[in-house]
Structure 1
Amino acid sequence: MKKDYLKYIAALLLFGTNGIVASGIGLPSYEIVLFRAGLGALFLVSAFCVLRTPQLLRDPRKLGLIALSGVSMGACWLFAYMGYSEAGVGLTSLLFALGPVVVMALSPLLFGDGLRKRTIIGFLAVLAGVVLANGGKLDSGAAIGIVHGICSALAYASMIILSKKAGDADGLESSTVQLVAAFATAAAGMALSGTGIQIPDSSDIAPALILGLVNTGIGSYLYFSAVTNLSAQSVAVCSYVEPVTAVVMAAMVLGESMVVVQWAGALLVIGGAVFCEVSKRFAFSPHFR
């Protein structure tokens, strides 16, 4: 379990730098998602061909659920990047935080996870921290951007639920299937948008490779090999490490200023997540894991 937590947190830290890396890519959002998913899928397909023998083909139900979770992941990325350009990164990130709320709200029904008062208190602290970390910017953004941000959150919740429903699976194989499905979803989204593919400049190549191969390829392997072994509530609560990382990295690398209230929000996110996990471990209930 400790190993799975470490892999999950490492993946979230990588994902938290996505915005930093993507800021060096001068391409439209659709293309960034397409290159990200395509390079990540290529990396994992190559690794899988060398290291593994296919197992999911023997279980069509599990294969289908994992592929659908990949479709949800691709949709999540597309909606998120559209929201970034229409309503801003802060507001879209705040709306994206609704995804883990949906997962936690449904986890007692779908997975039998216990939902205790201490967990709810810690989770409310996490939500308050997300609001503060984003500067409480609820007064900006076009309506369509808000809709896209909410759609991104719902797609994220669907991705987590489908991954959990699929159950145990080889991390490399499942993440390969998911990224291939995400790439297909991004390609379909670009086709429906009617936009053509722009040729990236030489300055775009390095950050695109890092985003696709490292952040997406390696990050997705770490993420999906860990998430199936953790409770849905743990996945939902700890996922807030990603936006906190994004806020901190934006301040350190891009020079975006962080006021005291944003640092307080980051501390609330970390503290709330730790409180949820500690209270869950020491509360004896029929759902204790």
Structure 2
Amino acid sequence: MERKHLIAKAEIVFSMAVFGTISIFVRNIPLPSAELALCRAVIAAATLLIWQILTRTMVRFQDIKKELPLLLLSGAAMGVNWILFFQAYKYTSVALATLSYYFAPVLVTVASPLLFQERLTGRQMFCFVMSTLGLVLVIGVSGGAGAGDTAGVLFGLGAAVFYAAVVLCNKGIRNVTGINRTYLQFLASIAVLLPYVLFTGGFHLAELPAKGLASLLVVGVGYTGIAYTLYFSSLRYLKGQEAAILSYIDPLVAVLVSVTVLAESVTWLQAAGGAMILGFTILNELKPKGAA
């Protein structure tokens, strides 16, 4: 079991680090955000279908029919989440888009008592307030952020809302787990995104240059199909808190990529706000001493 645990930790660390560098390739794909999200879902679903065929783990309808509504809802939310997140990249830096996106765990914490009758502790309320103050600094109400930054951060926050919806839906899905759940959510995303793309501008894949097409394949196969497979495989052998803490490798890597690779600027106030969002969200994930 110890060996499996170490492999699981390596898988989640690798997948989170990979997720943190996705912006390098997304920047090279000149497609509308909705079309990019649709292509990502199609390529990833095809990748997972091949994996299921090879491992003989195909989903049976009788196993999912009771939870199909939640699977469809979570998949639709995932598709909208991707659209808004990619849209955030078009308006602001990768660092600010990612930091605002990682407000999602805070939203889950606040929504859980309302939806699942979970008790909200004083510490969780404190973390929520401080993370919200961090978000205010990231948005730049003091005037430090331009209109583009503000729009980008708001798109990132919108993506966080829909990612929180995915997480909350998944709490109610108990009989479909891991890769099968993700595959079905990809299919639901495709079902929602396809008509949206068709009626809001159509397809532009034929216009993609070779570099853009190669980047799209990398995002679909590597960053979505393979990385999601590794991520969900790792969860089987990790404690929830352990997985939650390791997931913050993603925004940390994204910020480093934004500043060092993409040479994007972040003000000191925005950096402080981002540190508050991540710091208090991580604090919220940590169990108090003596807790079960």
TM-score interval for Structure 1 and Structure 2 normalised by the shorter chain: 0.7 to 0.9
Give the direction of change, closer, same or farther, for the CA distance of 1:261–1:119 in structure 2 (3 Å limit).
same
Report the counterpart of residue 62 of structure 1 in structure 2. Answer: 67
- Which residue number corresponds to residue 109 of structure 2? 104
Give the distance between the partners of 2:249 and 2:210, measured in 1 at CA: 32
Which residues of 2 match residues 1-289 of structure 1 at below 5 A?
10-57=14-61, 58-85=63-90, 93=98, 96-129=101-134, 140-141=147-148, 149=156, 151-167=158-174, 169-199=176-206, 200-224=208-232, 241-258=249-266, 260-261=268-269, 263-265=271-273, 267-278=275-286, 280-284=287-291, 288=292
User: 2:55 is aligned with what amino acid?
Assistant: L
Give the C-alpha shift of residue 123 in structure 1. 4.4
2-side partners of 1:275 and 1:215: how far apart? 28
Once the two structures are superposed, residues 95-141 of structure 1 have per-residue CA deviations (whole angstroms, 9 ceiling, x without a partner) of 54453332111112334544322233344444455555677765524
Distance 1:251 1:142, change over 3 A: closer
Distance 1:99 1:268 in 2: 14
User: 1:94·1:131 contact (CA, 8 Å) conserved in 2?
Assistant: no
**CA separation of 1:8/1:24 partners in 2, compared to 1, >3 Å: closer, same or farther?**
same
CA contact (8 A) 1:129 1:264 kept: yes
CA offsets per residue over residues 73-95 of structure 1, 9 Å max, x none? Answer: 01111233334435776665565
Whether contact under 8 Å (1:36, 1:212) holds in the other structure is yes
Gaps of 5+ in 1: none
Assess, with a 3 A threshold, how the Cα gap between structure 1 residues 188 and 225 changes in structure 2: closer, same or farther: farther
Q: Mean alpha-carbon deviation: is it higher for 257-266 or for 20-29? A: 257-266
Residues 11 and 64 from structure 1, CA distance in 2 versus in 1: closer, same or farther, beyond 3 angstroms?
farther
Deviations 1:208-251 (A, max 9, x none): 122111111123234445679876x9888876553333221111
Q: 1:94 to 1:255 in 2, by over 3 A?
A: closer
Aligned residue type for 2:36: I
If the length of structure 1 is used for normalisation, what is the TM-score? 0.77
Give CA-to-partner distance per residue, 1:15-70, whole Å, 9 cap, x none: 22222221122333233222211111111111011113334522312243223211
Letter of the 2:263 partner, please give it. Answer: G
User: Is the 1:75–1:155 Cα contact (8 Å) retained in structure 2?
Assistant: yes
Number of residues of Structure 1 aligned to a counterpart in Structure 2: 283
2: CA distance, partners of 1:191 / 1:60: 28
Note the C-alpha offset of 1:255. 2.0
- Quick one: distance in 2 between partners of 1:36 and 1:102? 25
Q: 2: CA distance between counterparts of 1:235 and 1:219?
A: 15
Read off the aligned partner of 2:217 and give its amino acid letter: L
| Farther off after superposition, 141-150 or 241-250 | 141-150
- C-alpha root-mean-square deviation of aligned residues, in Å? 3.8
User: Cα offset for 1:257?
Assistant: 3.6
Residues 31 and 204, structure 2, Cα contact 8 Å, conserved in 1: no
Q: In the aligned structure 2, how far is the partner of 1:52 from the partner of 1:37? A: 21
1:149-178 deviations in Å (ceiling 9; x for gaps): 554333222111111110253312111111
Asked whether the equivalents of residues 29 and 216 of structure 2 are also in contact (C-alpha less than 8 Å), the reply is yes
Q: Secondary structure at the match of 2:25?
A: helix
Structure 2: distance between partners of 1:134 and 1:150:
10
C-alpha contact 1:133 1:247 (8 A) present in aligned 2? no
Shift of 1:144: 8.0
